[in-house]
Structure 1
Amino acid sequence: MCMQYLALGETIKQLDKHTQGELLIRHPSQDWKGIMGFRDVLAHQYFSVDPAQVLWISRQAMPQLRLEILLMIQQLNN
Structure 2
Amino acid sequence: MYDEEIVLDLLGKMAELTERIRARFKEVVSVSELTDSCAGVEKLDLLLMPLIVIGELVTKIDHITKQALFEKYPQIPWREIKGLRNVVAHNYYEVNAEEIFDTCKNDIPKLAETIKQIISDFQ
**TM norm. shorter chain > 0.5:** yes
Aligned to 1:60: 106
1:37-77 Cα distance to aligned partner (Å, 9 max, x none)? 0001011111100111111100011111110011011112x
Count of equivalent residues: 77
Are positions 1:2 and 2:51 aligned together?
Answer: no
Structure 1 residues not aligned, in runs of 5+: none
Partner SS for 2:76:
coil
Q: What TM-score, normalized to structure 1?
A: 0.95
Larger Rg: 2
Number of the residue aligned with 2:89: 43
Identity percentage of aligned residues: 26
User: For the residues of structure 1 that align with 2:86 and 2:120, how far apart are their CA atoms?
Assistant: 28
Question: What is the CA–CA distance in structure 1 between the aligned matches of 2:65 and 2:104, rounded to whole Å?
Answer: 27
Normalised by the size of structure 2, how large is the TM-score? 0.61
**Deviation >4 Å, runs of 4+:** none
Q: Does 1:14 align with 2:82?
A: no
SS for the counterpart of 1:22 is: coil
Supply the AA of the counterpart residue of 2:82: M
**Any stretches of 5+ residues in structure 2 without a counterpart?**
1-46
**C-alpha RMSD of matched pairs (Å):** 0.6
SS of structure 1 residue aligned to 2:74: coil
